[in-house]
Amino acid sequence: MSFLIHICFDNSSLFARNVYYFEYKNIRFKLIQNNSYKRSDVLLTIVSHKNREEEKVYLIASEYLSALSFRNNSLVKMWKCGGISVSHNFELRKAKCRAFDFHRTPLGGYYIEGGDINKIPEIENEEQKNALILFKEANSSNNIYLSFLFYWQILETAGTNAEKWVNKVFKNSFNEIRVNQKDIDNLQLKGKSLGEYFRDDCRNAIAHIKRKRKGKTSIKLDNSKDNYRINISTRIIKEFAITYIYKQLKLNKSMYLVRYKGKGFPLYVKQEELRQKPYKIAYPRENAIQLLGKRRRLTWHTKKDPFGM
């Protein structure tokens, strides 16, 4: 017997289709968008030995959804939600969602239409992967204090001194970061550098409830002024984290979801491989836009298999 694994995930970016197929890191998945106003979406895949392969599949799915979240700047959170036993010759195209769960992210009924899975960042090393996982968790958290800590950790991913890096970027290339100068002015740095402010007045103040040394900033979670200050700081440091991922970690390559000669199972290939073989985009953008205009509520069932089988 094989096992049909269900990995549930929330996603604030709506895709045009209910069902997608793709192969990532040699694992074949079926992505199903359920009714997004009621239930989470799901990734399905089949393994022959549940105990030996489930964790490997989960880690690959986590890497994939982290890349997708960064690409679409969407709120994405994933978790295990069980599965069912199937026969050893069971085909993925016949799989349907059998395990449903409620949302775990603060979507609040807000979704962005026009999400795309045809292009995702190419993760080349552990540093890039860890940074995108942190970004996914920070972006989907409903707690600004936790989000700030995760964004700060991104700046330390490659062993960088985060404080010095922030000061260097702020001094030399601030115009490349999408930050409003008014937000910087509202921080009230009080003579501190931006990096020192982030480290001492935000990161350390959040991490330590009691600060014994005089003159050190402390935070009260129920204080509206502290909440407002950390909210602005989190919005700013998010943009620094994005810049860090692109510039410091050099996440500048992409992978594309294609089919060989427009047929076969869709798979992600590296950018340099596109010209070597006659690949075609698996789910053309123009068709996706037409589909998007025809539907507003998403269900897990579709009459026509988008894989064309």
* One-letter identity of residue 51: N
What pLDDT shows up at residue 43? 96
pLDDT in tens, the chain (309 residues): 899 999 999 998 888 888 999 999 999 999 998 876 678 899 999 998 877 788 999 999 999 999 999 999 889 999 999 889 999 889 999 999 888 888 887 655 556 777 789 999 999 999 999 999 999 999 999 899 999 999 999 999 999 999 999 999 999 988 888 888 888 988 888 889 999 999 999 999 998 877 667 667 778 888 898 899 999 999 999 999 999 999 999 999 999 999 998 889 999 999 889 888 899 999 986 554 444 444 444 333 333 333 333
Residue 174's nearest CA partner among 238, 240, 235 is 240
Residue 300's nearest CA partner among 84, 58, 101 is 101
What pLDDT shows up at residue 294? 47
Structure tokens at 112: 């962005």
The residue extents of the domains of the chain are 2-122+255-294, 126-248
3-state helix, strand, coil in the chain (%, to 5): 40, 20, 40
CA 239 to chain centre: 15
Strand stretches in the chain, DSSP E? 2-11, 13-15, 19-24, 27-32, 41-47, 76-86, 112-115, 119-121, 254-260, 263-270, 279-281
Structure pTM?
0.86
